[in-house]
Amino acid sequence: MHGNFLNTHGKTLYAHGNFLNTHGKSLYVHGNFLNTHGKSLYVHGNFLNAYGNFLNTHGKSLYAHGNFLNTHGKSLYAHGNFLNTHGKSLYAHGNFLNTHGKSLYAHGNFLNTHGKSLYAHGNFLNTHGKSLYAYGDFLNTHGKSLNAHGNFLNTYGKLHMNSEVRTSFR
């Protein structure tokens, strides 16, 4: 693919960069972008109409010199690091953690599927049949697929970082 697409609900994604849409929300990015709830972002590499970087998860957006913080938007971005205490999501140097319908975006990698996805330097974990995107590889089949260009693992909340994918789903 020239990028890759992933669609979990009759929705489409376009990736000349990378897209991910899980609820009829579309994102376009000549770089990357993400939309979690009818909120769209356009960025020439990132989001935010203010400084070429931006983030929006619930109509709540903040930008601060490459650092996002939104307490009610459930998302934060800070120099490639996400952290959200009430958004149930965290990102830290290529490691994502999302526990409640929150999404994270980082360095050309998206994951948004209703808080059921994580991304961590080529390692994905999906806790509830959600989808993950990584390095131009998608996998979405109700949490039953894996793709290892990195390592994917989905076992309903069981994260396992192995050098190879050794788990298969029926």
Taking only the tens place, the pLDDT of each residue in 89-109 is 333 333 333 323 333 333 333
Taking only the tens place, the pLDDT of each residue in 118-166 is 333 333 333 333 333 333 333 332 333 333 333 333 333 333 332 222 2
Distance (Å, rounded) from C-alpha 97 to C-alpha 113? 13
Distance (Å, rounded) from C-alpha 151 to C-alpha 142? 17
CB-CB neighbours of 122 under 10 Å: 16
Work out the average pLDDT over 61-79: 32
Tell me which residue of 63, 130, 65, 31 sits closest to 75, measured CA to CA.
Answer: 63
pTM of the model: 0.14
Tell me which residue of 101, 84, 153 sits closest to 122, measured CA to CA.
Answer: 153
Decide: 114 and 127 in contact? Cβ < 8 Å: no
